[in-house]
Structure 1
Amino acid sequence: MTSKYKVLFLCRENSARSIIAEALLRELAGHRFDVFSAGSDPAARVHALAIAQLRPGISDLGLLTPKSWLEFTGQWAPHMDLIVALDERVAEYHAPEFPGKPLFVQWDFADPLAEGMTLEERTRSFEKVFWQIVRRVTLFMELPRYTSPVVLSAPSAEPVAHERDIVCPG
């Protein structure tokens, strides 16, 4: 029996970087990954510039909504295999405990919503961050650990361990 890897992307407002990462991984490898995103202080809606970056290549933008990371902490929450923080303000030591003790990593990208930018600077920042996330998600998908679904053994239904020490280059 096989199962998809479960990945949760975290960002403070869950309106830009984590949404972009969720959408890209789902679109590019949804057959191998169940992908989610959330934030500590979710925004009311996905940022318009994030939607503008995603619109040309994402088939179902309607799935993208900001969510609280608390939705993923309860006893009925899906057990993640990997949690990726895209904002240093939600690093592992700030995040709540998630069921199943998932691997936790940090991918550092500039905040396209940082204070003090003009609209033109913000638009360029969103485009730059979008392409950085595309590159990182693509590298992540190609890692040997994630090239095929999790294989579950019949008696214990526990995932077979693979190269857990390798998460994603640079």
Structure 2
Amino acid sequence: MSVTRKYKVLFLCRENSARSIIAEALLRELAGHRFDAFSAGPEPAARVHPIAITQLRPGISDLGVLSPKSWLEFTGEWAPRMDLVIAMDECVAGHHAPLFPGTPSLSSWIFADPLADGMPEPERGRAFEKVFWQIVRQLSTFIESPQYAAQRKAAASVEAPACISDTL
């Protein structure tokens, strides 16, 4: 039996209470057998935003592991070596993010902030739902991208009998 390496992915967002948390939870749930998902931000909130939890509750099995973290937790010698770091808002994209150990690829998936100041409360719930589904679509494309799907298919052909389908 072959051991398949899991890719380490870090999602960044300013407060790490909504978009990056949603992405971390969804990647862990949808493809945790192939990816280790993390999230962080430069100004972590005191808690995960309650509407983010509401969006995740129906399909996420382990909400208890989600918490806002500082991105500094991922910059030290002892930090896990990321394969990919994904900025989810403009304030953490590009040159604003710290250097992370190893040589992670950097990417930006910019989504509107459902916590934007001045947004009326009834619209906030709709904004969370919209960004949730945008992240689901982006992650689905990411999970099936040739770079990551090829490893899964190769491992499946070695480890799984031909009668078992290769599904997420």
Fold-level similarity (TM above 0.5): yes
The TM-score with structure 2 as length reference comes to 0.87
How many angstroms does 1:84 deviate by? Answer: 0.4
Deviation at 1:92, TM superposition (A): 2.0
Residues 129-153 of structure 1: per-residue CA shift (max 9 Å, x gap): 000000000000000111226x9xx
Other structure's SS at 2:94 match: coil
Residue of structure 2 in register with 1:158 after alignment: none
Question: How far is 1:42 from its partner?
Answer: 0.2
**2:3 aligned with 1:17, yes or no?**
no
Q: Among 26, 30, 33, which residue is 2:32 paired with?
A: 30
**Shift of residue 2, structure 1, vs aligned partner:** 3.0
Structure with higher helix content: 2
Q: What residue is the counterpart of 1:83 in the other structure? A: 85
Q: Among residues 57, 60, 85, which one is paired with 2:59 in the alignment?
A: 57
Structure 2: how far apart are the matches of 1:60 and 1:92? 31
Name 1:163's counterpart in structure 2: none
Task: Please state how far the C-alpha of 1:101 moved relative to its aligned partner.
Answer: 1.8
Distance 1:129 1:25 in 2: 15
Displacement of 1:3: 1.4
Between structure 1 and structure 2, the one with the greater Rg is 2
Residue aligned with 1:101, SS = coil
Opposite residue 99 of structure 1, the aligned amino acid is: P
Q: Corresponding residue for 2:69? A: 67
Number of residues of Structure 1 aligned to a counterpart in Structure 2? 150
2:118 to 116, 119, 124: 116
Aligned to 2:109: 107
1:133 maps to 2:132: no
Q: RMSD over aligned Cα, in angstroms? A: 1.1
Taking structure 1 as the reference length, the TM-score comes to 0.86
The within-5 A match list for 1:92-103 is 92-103=94-105
**Percent identical residues:** 72
Unaligned runs of 5+ in 2: 155-168
Structure 2 CA distance for aligned equivalents of residues 89 and 136 of structure 1 = 20
Moved over 6 A (4+): none
Matched, 1:3 2:13: no
Distance 2:22 2:99 in 1: 24
